[in-house]
Structure 1
């Protein structure tokens, strides 16, 4: 199994890497020690780019930057590079911390996306908000493989529900309520998932999104954020889920190979029959 995990910032990247073993203190964006520890891996610079891959077991992890555009660019660069060297990714995962919708995902919990939704990609008029899919200009949601998402959520003890991608983080109760109404059952919001999913879909690679909840969606209250706890939860989620993902991906690959073999046998028999007919 070869998996690309895309985070926004180094602290999230290091939390994922720490799931494979701990030997070196991680650093957050300010240079301070992170509450998790990450394994030492020599980073690999992606050709012609600013991004570095950090490798731990089956995971290649990179910090892409904040927002869907940066996430899409980094994901496309990493995945296309892997395909060129004949080691394509079996799975791409958007990962990090995020806001949880009250009553669905509590602070300190983990969410696995049942769908990855662009929550503010559209137009707003006096009549309300209309997304680009309704306008006929594209899509606003990606659905991870259901069995894979369920398996990851079950093993990680995570909430399974829609994760919203926003370009502006929610900071008021009114906006939080609006998003909850527009997207019933939404579990979390973050800023990169849809960009990662768009890039993965363009290359034909399945995608998941995993978010550890650091704060509630709603009024912006920095004092209530629990970032260290969320990063620790992210580490634990990957430590639990990675073996299950490996088994699920290998099983899917085996089924694909079996189908391909059956199709080849059928084609051979058909050709043989036509030659002797």
Structure 2
């Protein structure tokens, strides 16, 4: 029996995903949905542990999906939209300089970008034809000003959303040789921080529906 691992940051996201798994009609024993913590470090550590335990137990996962809610760039991914990551980018991994932000690639210390597994991404886009496909940024500090949002889009013109875990999950999956993808639903617009504009209920509902379609 092959299993799929879906990791989220928090239990509220995991609950929405589990509801979608049950609605999909697949055997729930073939899909593990586990929250691993907030931020790229917790996501990487938690996902790596789960993948290693599964492999050691002789039941390695066939793929891992980083799922949850996200902020969407206005005009690209509106509140309630479903987004799929063609690439996951650690957008704040690098250094400041007088000329501006230097990504870790420019520093010669590796890469801040990982591409989604092509076969997994094709499966997800087929199941979710209305999903918005683009780069999903991973940030340890999410955006709270219009200036930062504009700067991110200048550096990452294909970005559609931002979250806090995707790159960490992708790093763990790459190290384990497991296909990885990122699926998120938009709860708020990226820019000036305004909790009154967040629509968590709508985003969780969309996450359930997207999971049901992806697993069905």
Fold shared by both chains (TM-score > 0.5): yes
CA distance in 1, matches of 2:97, 2:86: 29
CA distance in 1, matches of 2:125, 2:194: 28
- Equivalent residue number for residue 139 of structure 2: 166
Structure 2 SS opposite 1:230? helix
- Equivalent residue number for residue 15 of structure 2: 14
Deviation at 1:221, TM superposition (A): 0.6
- Equivalent residue number for residue 270 of structure 1: none
Aligned match for 2:172, one of 172, 196, 199: 199
Would you say 1:185 and 2:158 are equivalent positions? yes
Structure 2 contact 72–190 (Cα < 8 Å) conserved: yes
Between the two proteins, the alignment pairs up a number of residues equal to 211
Deviation at 1:139, TM superposition (A): 1.2
- Equivalent residue number for residue 36 of structure 1: none
- Equivalent residue number for residue 117 of structure 2: 145
- Equivalent residue number for residue 5 of structure 2: 4
CA distance in 1, matches of 2:36, 2:54: 16
- Equivalent residue number for residue 83 of structure 1: 55
Using CA pairs below 8 Å that are at least 6 residues apart, which structure has the higher relative contact order? Answer: 2
CA distance in 1, matches of 2:179, 2:119: 12
- Equivalent residue number for residue 225 of structure 1: 198
What residue ranges of structure 1 are gaps of 5+ in the alignment?
A: 23-54, 244-277
Deviation at 1:196, TM superposition (A): 0.4
What residue ranges of structure 2 are gaps of 5+ in the alignment?
A: none
- TM-score where L is the length of structure 2: 0.94
Deviation at 1:102, TM superposition (A): 1.0
- TM-score where L is the length of structure 1: 0.74
CA distance in 2, matches of 1:150, 1:79: 23
CA distance in 2, matches of 1:222, 1:142: 30
Aligned match for 1:209, one of 182, 185, 198: 182
Deviation at 1:20, TM superposition (A): 2.5
Deviation at 1:9, TM superposition (A): 0.5
Structure 2 contact 21–212 (Cα < 8 Å) conserved: yes
Q: Which has the larger radius of gyration?
A: 1
**Alignment RMSD:** 1.3
Structure 1 SS opposite 2:64? strand
Structure 1 SS opposite 2:41? helix
Map of 1:1-277 to 2, 5 A cutoff?
1-21=2-22, 56-156=28-128, 157-243=130-216
Deviation at 1:61, TM superposition (A): 1.1
Structure 2 contact 77–83 (Cα < 8 Å) conserved: yes
CA distance in 2, matches of 1:111, 1:124: 29
Deviation at 1:6, TM superposition (A): 0.9
